[in-house]
Chain A
Amino acid sequence: MAVDIDHIRAQFPALHQEVNGHPLIYFDNAATSQKPKMVVDAIAHYYNKENSNIHRGVHYLSQKATDKYELAREAVRRFINAASTEEIIFTRGTTEAINLVSTCLSNWLFKAGDEIIISAIEHHSNIVPWQMACEQSGATLKVIPVLDSGELDMDAYRALLSDKTKLVTVNHISNALGTVNPVEEITFLAQEKGALVLIDGAQATPHMTVDVQSLNCDFYCFSAHKMYGPTGVGILHGKKEILDKMPPYHGGGEMIKEVKFEGTTYNDLPFKFEAGTPNIVGGVAIEAAIRFIEEIGIENIAQQEAELLAYATEKLQEVGGIRFIGEAKEKAGVVSFIIDGVHPYDAGTILDKLGIAIRTGHHCAQPVMDRYSIPGTMRASFAVYNTKEEIDTFIEGVKKVKQLFS
């Protein structure tokens, strides 16, 4: 293996604990990853030594905090290879980033008769905001169907595209199935029709190199907490030419240039979309999380996780009586499955008793479960600190579940 797993695991105090009398095996990384010590230390250090409000105040601490926050913005820019820091907007998370775009576009761009295309394998956070946008603007929602394999039906997608299409949005990687969507092609086809493209990258940034300039999408959203960073901070990347035209989202301090009762002028990018005091420490911590990833190398992380995914899939197949939900050729991070005749809730409960944390249920993607006519799945999702030995123990747990419920 390309990574020094012992060295990596030593940086995660949360991994070194017992749960229900067993060493914790944490396979719920698609929900949120654990945090390395350097991220936790960055948070403590900021509050202990550097805390101040930013972009205001001439005093030393304010300047220091501002520098750190803007350094984080630059780290994010570098991480996804954005053209400039003006295109990096801090949000509360992927969900807020998507809502920012959907709200601003409903106020500005969408009108009755327009069409918004999403896919059948979206997280609720990339469905509901667009349903709300449609309600408000009179636009219509169209859905790219998914094939049995968990891959999007690209022929159906081409057929859905038309001059009415104003926006296309899909996830980069499906949280429920692990499918890696062909986002470059999806983007290209949409832009040929003059539509904007938003990619929900929440599940992608922890697992693969993301280059927003080569993807050429108009918006890319992701969350820090799924990539070793803190909760409560996310990123909206938008192309400058579109963000410049888009009206602001929230009003308040920070996002203004000049406020008069006769009218207000808005601040430049990215501050136009960052009303109020932001999650400063979140910014500081995301910078540390990116440093953590870069020190290992995202390619090494991807390779490690691909090996884990292949190993887990193979071992589950050997158990027998397993139905995989999502068997796309391109998959990352996630193995979603059900054991024949066993409810995921029952399985998850027993695995928890064995100290194994997986996710069970519909993964905030109910339409996906409906598509496969199942109540939910068992989902094991991996991070760089997971090991094949942990998978072996997990497989023993799966066998125990089978034995109990059959």
Chain B
Amino acid sequence: MTILEIQEEIIEEFDMFDDWIQKYDYLIELSKSVPLIDEADRVEGNLIKGCQSKVWLHAKKEGEHVRFMADSDAIITKGIVALLVRVLDGQKCQDIIDNELHFIDAIGLREHLSMTRSNGLVSMIKQMKIYALVFQAK
């Protein structure tokens, strides 16, 4: 699936929810379901420090594609991290660089990317794009 298609799929999933509590319940479920990062990669070098929560992000290149592994110490952040990984993991470098991530807005979680949250997510998205840029240049 393309980045666009996965985003549309997520938007559809979230459309089923009637209120915010169902949405957050789903994020909590997502955070539990995915083994996001190897313990060995949960290291300082992969840590993005937010004021509120921490995010770990590791990436490796597989041919033209980028594999992402990530984690967070906060559950809601981790749920959103799981969504970001679902959208960008296994995609081509150029696609990661080119595509806008509009789904976060569309599913009503934009507030988690605001400056005041400082939960590491904004830096995580930036870092994912940087990985793609670096891997492409190699």
Contact = CB atoms under 8 A, between A and B. Distances in A.
Interface residues of B, number: 17
Interface in A342-396: 343-346, 348-350, 353, 360-362, 375-376
Contacts of A108: none
A344 B54 CA distance: 12
B49 to A, nearest CB: 10
A156 interface: no
Contacts of B74: 343-346
B130 to A, nearest CB: 24
B24 interface: yes
Nearest to A341: B75
Nearest to A348: B52
Interface residues of A, number: 16
A343 B75 contact: yes
Contacts of B73: 343, 375
B40 to A, nearest CB: 22
Contact of A404 (B25, B52, B77): B25
A204 B121 CA distance: 35
A54 B73 CA distance: 52
Contacts of A345: 52-53, 74, 76-77, 119
Contacts of A47: none
Given A404-B24, A404-B25, A405-B28, A375 B76 contact: no
B54 A375 contact: yes
Contacts of B51: 361-362
A346 B54 contact: no
B24 A350 contact: yes
B115 to A, nearest CB: 14
A349 B20 contact: no
Nearest to B51: A361
Contacts of A375: 53-54, 73
A344 B24 CA distance: 15
A376 B112 CA distance: 18
A405 B76 CA distance: 10
Top 8 A-B residue pairs of the complex, sorted by shortest distance between their CB atoms = A343-B74, A345-B74, A345-B53, A345-B52, A361-B52, A346-B75, A346-B76, A346-B74
Interface of B: 20-21, 24-25, 28, 51-54, 73-77, 112, 118-119
